[in-house]
């Protein structure tokens, strides 16, 4: 099973790997600066821990890349089930320990990160066996909807609105591929969205909205999120065209951004490297995503293609939400930026996703 075909090696996707390594390098350099304030010389513990996680992530990525992904298809439902069990476990244990300390220990590993991958694997298997074109009615959408509802529901029970939304969006990546009456879909979707938006802005008073948000995410602090959003805009703006220079951002180095090494890591980049630097990094990131889609398109089987599409989703949506939030285009919901934010679980899930993409890519000519 672990025998690796010679042709796979020959077809190893060096371009994709190169893109990933460049982004990881940018992320690390940026994280060093984001956590540098108050650290005399050398690196902060946060960076050290993140680097250890990167070493682990690299190993995971390589292993994942070289185990034929069709094994993944065979065990898709088992993988999915395991991630669900992990979610249930967090829920069970999480009820007992909700305090600050619990977050420290629990925070080492967030099963919801793996759940995204598990969901993608399960959906890829389903859509491979029931190709979009063969779908004739809405009834065939019921099984994938159930697949999506399971992890999203469990994450909602954890009261983690941000990640639940994210998981849902990852699943929605498949939507453009489906051939179900698009007009009907968009009609329903537009109506639902409009209805919800109208209800939210006209039907609910400010304090009611507040209450709903607080209910969905009790750790949310509206004041501090407003503060962060404001400070983030100031930081980004003061970057200007060329930026203030590495470790020179006044907003960053004075720690005006409370979560600058996690959720607001991109504003550090934007302040210190300016429009040029942040544009460059964004471009690299989006090229990586498009390359992922190309991997999907050139895959030789349906599962590989579906898998790659979903994996691109797991890398696209958190980045999109995070950057939208940092740029003040979306409300502040704590979603980390892949490869840039500090956090071991997110890094692990990104490593798995990238490994699987490499996997699909290097077997594009194998069969």
Q: Which of residues 165-184 bind another protein (CB under 8 A)?
A: 173, 176-177
Q: Calculate the CA 188 to chain-centre distance.
A: 27
Q: Toward another protein, which CB reaches closer, 274 or 338?
A: 274
Determine if 159 is a binding residue for another protein (CB under 8 A): no
Q: Choose between 52 and 75: whose C-beta lies nearer to another protein.
A: 75
- Of 56, 282, 284, 331, the one binding another protein (CB under 8 A) is 282
What the block records as the tokens of 327 is 């740029």
Judged by CB, which is closer to another protein: 55, or 183? Answer: 183
Stretch that binds another protein, among 55-63, 139-147, 325-333, 340-348 (CB under 8 A): 325-333
**Three-state DSSP state, 342:** coil
Stretch that binds another protein, among 26-34, 110-118, 196-204, 267-275 (CB under 8 A): 267-275
Closest to another protein by CB, 311 or 351? 311
Q: By CB under 8 A, is residue 92 in contact with another protein?
A: no
Q: Which of 236, 311, 337, 348 binds another protein (CB under 8 A)?
A: 236
102 binds another protein (CB under 8 A): yes
Reading the block at residue 356, the tokens are 């699987």
Residue 304 sits in the site that holds another protein (CB under 8 A): yes
**How far is it, in rounded angstroms, from Cα 48 to Cα 59?**
17
Q: Does 108 interact with another protein (rule: CB under 8 A)?
A: no
CA angle centred on 324, ends 315 and 169, rounded to 5°: 45
Q: Are 304 and 292 in contact (CB under 8 A)?
A: no
**DSSP per-residue letters across 4-46:** PPHHHHHT--HHHHHHHHHHHHHHHHHHHHHTTTT--SS--HH
DSSP string, 270-284: HHHHHHHHHHHHHHH
In sequence order, what DSSP letters do the residues of 195-229 get, joined into one string?
A: HHHHIIIIIS-HHHHHHHHHHH-TT--HHHHHHHH
- Segment near another protein (CB under 8 A); pick from 75-83, 193-201, 272-280, 331-339: 272-280
Residue 71 interacts with another protein (CB under 8 A): yes or no: yes
In terms of Cα–Cα distance, which of 226, 215, 238, 206 is closest to 157?
Answer: 215
Token pair for residue 363?
């077997």
Residue 136 touches another protein, criterion: CB under 8 A: no
The total number of residues written for the chain in this structure:
367
Contact 9, 362 (CB under 8 A): yes
Nearer to another protein, 153 or 187 (CB): 187
Q: Which of 81, 234, 280, 284 binds another protein (CB under 8 A)?
A: 234
Site for another protein in 328-357 (CB under 8 A): 328-329
Query: By CB under 8 A, how many residues form the interface with another protein?
Result: 80
- Name the minimum Å distance from CB 244 to another protein: 9
Q: Does 140 help bind another protein (rule: CB under 8 A)?
A: no
- Cα angle 140, 142, 144 (rounded to 5 degrees) comes to 95
Contact window for another protein (CB under 8 A) among 45-53, 83-91, 137-145, 249-257: 249-257
Rounded to the nearest whole angstrom, what is the least distance from the CB of residue 239 to another protein in the complex?
Answer: 5
Rule CB under 8 A: is residue 279 a binding residue for another protein?
yes
The CB-of-152 to another protein minimum distance in angstroms stands at 20
From the list 11, 28, 94, 129, which residue makes contact with another protein (rule: CB under 8 A)? 129
Contacts with 120 (C-beta within 8 Å, 6 or more apart), sequence order: 170, 307, 310, 311, 313, 314
């Amino acid at each position: 099973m672990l025998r690796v075909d010679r042709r796979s090696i020959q077809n190893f996707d060096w371009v994709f790997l190169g893109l990933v390594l460049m982004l990881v390098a940018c992320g690390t350099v940026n994280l060093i600066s984001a956590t540098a304030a108050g650290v005399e010389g050398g690196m902060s513990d946060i960076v050290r821990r993140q680097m250890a996680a990167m070493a682990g992530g690299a190993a995971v990525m390589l292993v994942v890349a070289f185990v034929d992904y069709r094994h993944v298809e065979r065990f898709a439902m088992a993988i999915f089930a395991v991630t669900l069990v992990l979610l249930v476990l967090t829920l069970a244990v999480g009820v007992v320990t909700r305090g600050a300390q619990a977050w420290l220990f629990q925070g080492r590993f967030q099963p919801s990160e793996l759940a995204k991958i598990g969901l993608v694997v399960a959906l890829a298997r389903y859509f491979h066996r029931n190709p979009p074109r063969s779908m004739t009615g809405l009834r065939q959408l019921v099984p994938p909807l159930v697949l999506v509802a399971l992890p999203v529901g469990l994450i909602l029970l954890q009261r983690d609105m941000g990640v639940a939304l994210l998981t849902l969006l990852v699943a929605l990546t498949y939507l453009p591929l489906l051939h179900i009456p698009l007009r009907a879909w968009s009609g329903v979707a537009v109506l639902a969205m409009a209805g919800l938006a109208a209800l939210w802005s006209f039907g609910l008073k400010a304090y009611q909205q507040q209450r709903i948000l607080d209910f969905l995410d009790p750790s949310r602090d509206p004041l501090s999120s407003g503060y962060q959003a404001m400070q983030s805009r100031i930081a980004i703006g003061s970057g200007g065209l060329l930026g203030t220079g590495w470790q020179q951002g006044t907003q960053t180095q004075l720690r005006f951004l409370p979560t600058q090494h996690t959720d607001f890591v991109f504003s550090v980049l934007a302040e210190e490297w300016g429009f040029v630097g942040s544009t460059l990094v964004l471009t690299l990131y989006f090229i990586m995503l498009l390359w992922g889609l190309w991997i999907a398109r050139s895959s030789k089987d349906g599962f590989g293609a579906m898998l790659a599409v979903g994996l691109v989703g797991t890398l696209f949506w958190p980045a999109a939400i995070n950057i939208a939030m940092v740029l003040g285009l979306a409300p502040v919901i704590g979603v980390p930026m892949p490869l840039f934010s500090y956090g071991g679980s997110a890094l692990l899930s990104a490593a798995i996703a990238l490994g699987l993409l490499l996997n699909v890519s290097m077997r594009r000519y194998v069969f």
